[in-house]
Amino acid sequence: MESVGTGDLLSRATADADRLNESIRQALPRIALAAVTLVFTLAAILLTSPLLALGLLAGVPFAALSTWWYRPRATRAYERLLAEEADILAVTYETARGAATVEALGLGPRQIQRHGRAVDHVVRTRQRTTWLQTIWFPSLDLATMVPMALTLLIGGLAYQRGAVGLGELTAVVLYVQALGEPLDDLLTWTDELQIGNAALRRILGVDRLPREEPRPPAATEGHAIRLEGVGFGYGPGREVLSGIDLDIAPGERLVVVGASGAGKSTLGKLLAGVHHATRGTVRIGGAEIGTLPVDQLRREIVLVTQEQHVFTGTVRDNLTLAREEAPPDERLWEALETVLLTDWARALPDGLDSEIGPGAAPVSPSAAQQLALARLLVSDPHALVLDEATALLDSTASRRVERSLAALIEGRTVISIVHRLDSVRDADRIAVMDRGRIVELGSHEELLAADGAYASLWHSWQAARHADPTTWRKRGGGTPET
């Protein structure tokens, strides 16, 4: 399995796919034509004069040895070239997507330098491939020139002794001369095919990700969630969670708090089935989460994150993504009304059938988040994992989305991952995480009475809020870093 960035994936899906298409569409037919031409030309030389055909053997070492030397070096160079061209796309994509941040923080010169370094790497690798070709191509020329000279020499001697006629000698010389073009085509288009092979290997690298096999629906009893001895790591020696034991009752509201890097978001992804535990088990309704087919899993639990994507299409398309069969319009309008988005949708030219997203009607960050919440209402899961769903919004938009959230969580199991502590008192229980473990678990009052990690976090938050209330409200009341 390979771990790559968005820019690299874009490169594999676009530039690499184009190279592979070009190789298959252009290189394979040209190689086949050149090979057939070579076979018939060689056969004609042998039929005309087997004696003069011996001169062709002199070209074999030049073609075979130079190609044997060139191929492995070129393969590595082409693979490196494709990876470095992907780096250029990655930097460009990152800069364009984060243009506002780049401008706000004055990162333009830094990104230009990164792009310049990526271009320099591509130039150096192209120079490397050009140098390899300056050795290989002259060797291919020698593979036809040397047999031509040797054929003339052998033919002249044989003609003097009467072994071959002038017509035979002339025909073989012309045939040997004709070998040059198909031989060059065969080997140079094989080189082009090699680039396609490097592109194919990069494309197949994406396909190495494990595919989910179709699973039958799993039998569940209720909607309780249980984690037993759960651990998770992103690789050997990179464990993020360990020893997590937790029971969440249906309808319970659990808030997860802790310092940045404590493992809160990773725990949320495990609960939602986005990641799978490397140790222990996560169960919903008694069934292990890994055994649930995706459609059943998404009816049980859904993750709501800080960033929500608006897909190009209609409002209706965005609301019904998680449903195989589109519900009636009344259900969609009801969901929009619940998340306070009805006025926005009715103001669009075609209502539910209005095109939104890039190139169509713009959608504000708060409206995108509310649209995502409406989508959840339509899909109607039993449990929600809210990972700082309003953290990226300004205070006005945040309050609007939080009112939408209040309607959404009614009657559902809710696991909220928060940095702001202003709403933790409403939770049934609070889980405090530190270094990948749950170190405290209980109600707000119980944890304050315990005077442990949560009490320290709470008192720090209260002190920071009262120190400068105006600034605190503008910042959104986030938890101080500890």
Encoded tokens for 289: 């989460």
Q: Looking at the structure, tell me whether residues 128 and 160 fall in a common domain.
A: yes
Q: Are residues 427 and 355 in the same domain?
A: yes
Total of domains in the chain: 2
Whether residue 236 sits in one domain with residue 193: no
Structure tokens at 370: 């509310």
Sequence-ordered alpha helix ranges (H) in 233-353: 264-271, 294-300, 315-319, 329-338, 342-347
- Which of 363, 246, 379, 278 has its CA nearest to residue 319? 379
Q: What is the DSSP string of 131-164?
A: HHHHHHHHHHHHHHHHHHHHHHHHHHHHHHTTSS
Residue 482 is assigned to a structural domain of this protein: no
Report how far residue 144's alpha carbon sits from residue 306's, in angstroms, rounded to the nearest whole number: 65
Same domain, residue pair 233 and 320: yes
Structural domain contains residue 369: yes
Given this model, what pLDDT does residue 396 score?
55
> Which residues of the chain are modeled with pLDDT < 70?
1-8, 97, 100-101, 104-105, 205-214, 306-308, 324, 389-408, 466-482
Is 480 part of a structural domain of the chain? no
What is the predicted pLDDT for the residue at 430?
92
Sole residue written with tokens 């820019």: 7
Structure tokens given for 377: 């209402």
Are 254 and 197 within one domain? no
Question: CB burial class (10 A; 0-12, 13-18, 19+) of residue 466?
Answer: exposed
Sheet holding 437-442, edge to edge: 301-304, 383-387, 413-417, 253-258, 429-434, 437-442
Rounded CA-CA distance 283/285 in Å is 6
β strands within 234-375, DSSP E: 239-248, 253-258, 279-284, 287-288, 301-304, 313-314, 355-356
Say how many Å lie between the first and final Cα of the chain, rounded: 35
Separation CA 82–CA 283 (nearest Å): 43
Asked if 147 and 55 count as a contact pair (C-beta separation under 8 A), the reply is yes
Report the CATH number at residue 445. 3.40.50.300
> Which of 207, 238, 270 is the last residue in one of the domains?
207
Kindly state whether residues 342 and 422 are assigned to the same domain: yes
Question: What's the pLDDT score for residue 469?
Answer: 56
Same-domain check for residues 194 and 287: no
CATH of residue 175's domain is 1.20.1560.10
Angle between the 395-408 and 365-379 helix axes, to the nearest 10 degrees?
0
- Strand duo 225-233 + 429-434: pairing: unpaired
Alpha helices by DSSP H, listed for 409-467, are: 444-450, 453-467
Within-domain flag for 217: no
In a domain, 145, yes or no: yes
Give the model's pLDDT for residue 475: 46
Task: Name the 3-class secondary structure at 303.
Answer: strand
Residue 206, pLDDT score: 58
Q: What is the spatial distance between Cα 116 and Cα 84, in angstroms, rounded to a whole number?
A: 12
Whether 175 and 238 share a structural domain: no
Query: Does the residue 212 lie in any domain?
Result: no
Residue 37: count of CB within 10 angstroms of its CB: 17
Residues 253 and 175 in one domain: no
Closest CA to 264 of 430, 89, 33: 430
Q: Which domain holds residue 69?
A: 6-207
Beta strands in 174-238 (DSSP E): 225-233
Phi/psi of residue 268, nearest 5 degrees: -60, -40
Residue 241, domain member (yes or no): yes
Give the Cα separation of 262 and 195 in Å (integer): 44
**Residue 417: in which H helix or E strand, if any?**
strand 413-417
The pair of three-digit structure tokens given for residue 266, joined into one six-digit string? 């990773």
Name the phi and psi angles at 472, rounded to 5. -65, -40
Question: Pick from 257, 223, 197: which is nearest to 382 by CA?
Answer: 223
Q: Which of 180, 207, 234 is the last residue of a domain?
A: 207
Q: Give tens-digit pLDDT for 393-439.
A: 455 555 665 666 666 677 789 898 887 777 788 889 999 998 889 99
Residues 151 and 286 in one domain: no
Q: b/e string for 276-289 if b means 16 or more Cβ within 10 A?
A: ebbebebbbbebeb
d(CA 324, CA 312): 18
Question: Does 463 map to a domain?
Answer: yes
State which of 140, 174, 207 marks the end of a domain: 207
pLDDT reported for residue 429: 93
Residue type at 110?
Answer: R
Q: Which of 85, 104, 65 lies closest to 10 in space, CA to CA?
A: 85
Sequence length of the chain is 482
Q: Rounded mean pLDDT of the chain?
A: 80
Co-location of 54 and 185 in the same domain: yes
Residues 137 and 229 in one domain: no
